[in-house]
Amino acid sequence: MHSHVRLSALLARYFENNLTAIEAQEFSAYLEDPLYAEEIKELLGASFTRQSDLLEMPVTRKRRVLKNVLGASYVLQPVSRRIWFRAGLVAAILLCVLAAGLFYTPRHSGHSDDITYLNDVAPGKQGATLTLSNGTRIKLDETGNGILAEEAGVKISKSADGQVVYEIKNTDDGNPAVQVLSTARGETYQLRLPDGSVVHLNAASSLSFSSRLLQQGKRLVKLNGEGFFDVAKDKTHPFVVECKGQEVEVLGTHFNIKGYAEDQKMASTLVEGSVKVRYGNEQRLLKPGQQAINDGRRLSVSEVDVAEAIAWKEGFFRFNDAQVADVMEQLARWYNIEVKYEGKLASDGFSGKISRYKPISDVLKMLENTGLVKFKIEGRRVTVLE
């Protein structure tokens, strides 16, 4: 009984990366001792079940992972026979249980380091193009900090922390200048609008707006692609985002909109405050943690994992039972790659979190270790083999 309690405590501290040097030696001794193999399996199985529940892993997927990693005799139940618990298998299962990484089933006894590709592709970076109303195009990754331009009484500058900043210099309305900030595939950027609102643009996206922002009493911007909005509060001037015929109106809040041209559905996710989503004759008011899905016919609202929707802004890919085609679509935009498919795609989904700032080989290796798919890289083309 004592060993079970102690193992459980050590396992919990291991997952928290909080083991002392002495505890690490003690934990290692337990793992290498075949007498504790069955007990460790039971603890790992229970941990796996709890962690996978947090990501809503489908039961069929959970059973398959447990069966393949822990053995045929373990299917969400304690094992009835002792099995020598090799250190390599322990490491694989520990990785499997971690909620922060992908749940995976090793296809062989080796590690992801055994997977090799012909070449690699670097991740995206901070960069964008600012197009002024007179047609002048400014590549922001090639310019230094300081004043970029002045248009219609607005000073446009690039800050030291990598933002485009707008500052109104006079109150003469004149003819407001319409400007566009756009990111290419493999780029992301932030801008601070004249009202103090901050917009983060994901790859292959654009935001167009008046240099003074106000149009008929509203702060109006138009989005193509994906953007996260941190809107400055102004009760007298609503902030409106137009995207693919839909409008999202707020007074001041945090929300994310994903509406690429190729997306069959547009997703508007509220992090904080409240937003009003309008499409055609429909109008829905969102609460924090809710997402409005627009399929081109109607709006539907549901509770979602907000962390998944805004993971890109925090520097991660985060998947929750995502299909391989959806995963590759995100990788294609960020790594600026061409994706080709050969063979039948697996119907199982991927769940987990991966840094966007790793080379693509690291991401593909993690995906390959699920046992669901294989890849090859040729230049900037990634082929999905199965």
Work out the number of other CB atoms within 10 angstroms of the CB of residue 74: 22
Q: For 160-197, how does the pLDDT look when each residue is reduced to its tens digit (9 = 90+)? A: 888 899 887 765 555 678 999 999 999 999 999 989 99
Residue given tokens 């040729």 in the structure block: 378
Co-location of 150 and 181 in the same domain: yes
Q: Which two tokens stand for residue 259?
A: 């509406």
130: closest CA among 185, 58, 182?
A: 182
Examine the fold and report which residue of 82, 99, 116 is the final residue of a domain before the chain moves on: 99
- Nearby residues of 206 by Cβ (< 8 Å), 6 or more positions away: 180, 181, 182, 183, 223, 224, 225
Domain membership of residue 353 (yes or no) is yes
Query: 150: domain CATH number?
Result: 2.60.120.1440
Answer yes or no: do 142 and 42 share one domain. Answer: no
Exposure of 377 in the CB half-sphere (CA atoms within 13 A): 23
- Which two tokens mark 339? 């994706």
199/279 same-domain check:
yes
- pLDDT at position 8, please? 78
115 is a domain residue: no
Concatenated DSSP letters of 242-265? EETTEEEEESS-EEEEEE-TT-SS
CATH number at residue 354: 3.55.50.30
105: in domain: no
Q: Are 132 and 382 in contact (CB under 8 A)?
A: no
* Backbone dihedral region for residue 118 (phi beyond 0: left; psi -120 to 50: alpha; all else: beta): alpha
* Inside any domain, residue 110: no
292 within a domain of the structure (yes/no)? yes
Q: Is residue 316 part of a domain?
A: no
340 and 214, same structural domain? no
pLDDT means over runs of 10, the chain (386 residues) = 71 67 72 70 63 49 48 36 36 42 39 73 94 90 85 83 81 72 96 93 96 89 97 94 96 94 95 95 95 95 93 91 91 97 84 88 88 92 91
Do 132 and 66 sit in the same domain of this protein? no
| Predicted local confidence at residue 17, as pLDDT | 59
Its pTM stands at 0.71
Residues 45 and 86 in one domain: yes
pLDDT on residue 144: 83
At 54-76, the pLDDT tens digits run: 444 455 554 544 444 444 433 33
* Residue 174 domain-assigned (yes or no): yes
Tell me the C-alpha distance between 208 and 171, whole Å. 21
Structural domain of residue 10, as residue ranges?
2-99
Long-range contacts of 46-50 (CB under 8 A, 24+ apart): 47/11, 47/15, 47/97, 48/93, 48/96, 48/97, 49/76
User: Which of the listed residues 257, 280, 310 is the one where a domain comes to its end?
Assistant: 310
351 lies in the same domain as 268: no
Into how many domains does the chain fold?
A: 3
- Residue 77 and residue 131 in one domain: no
**For residues 275 and 255, is the Cβ–Cβ distance under 8 A?**
yes
How many CB atoms neighbour CB 80 within 10 A?
A: 8
In DSSP terms, 225 is beta-bridged to 259
The DSSP element (H or E) to which 168 belongs, if any, is: strand 163-168
* Residues 65 and 180 both lie in one domain: no
Same domain, yes or no, for 330 and 287?
no
pLDDT in the model for residue 81:
29
Whether 334 maps to a domain, the answer reads yes
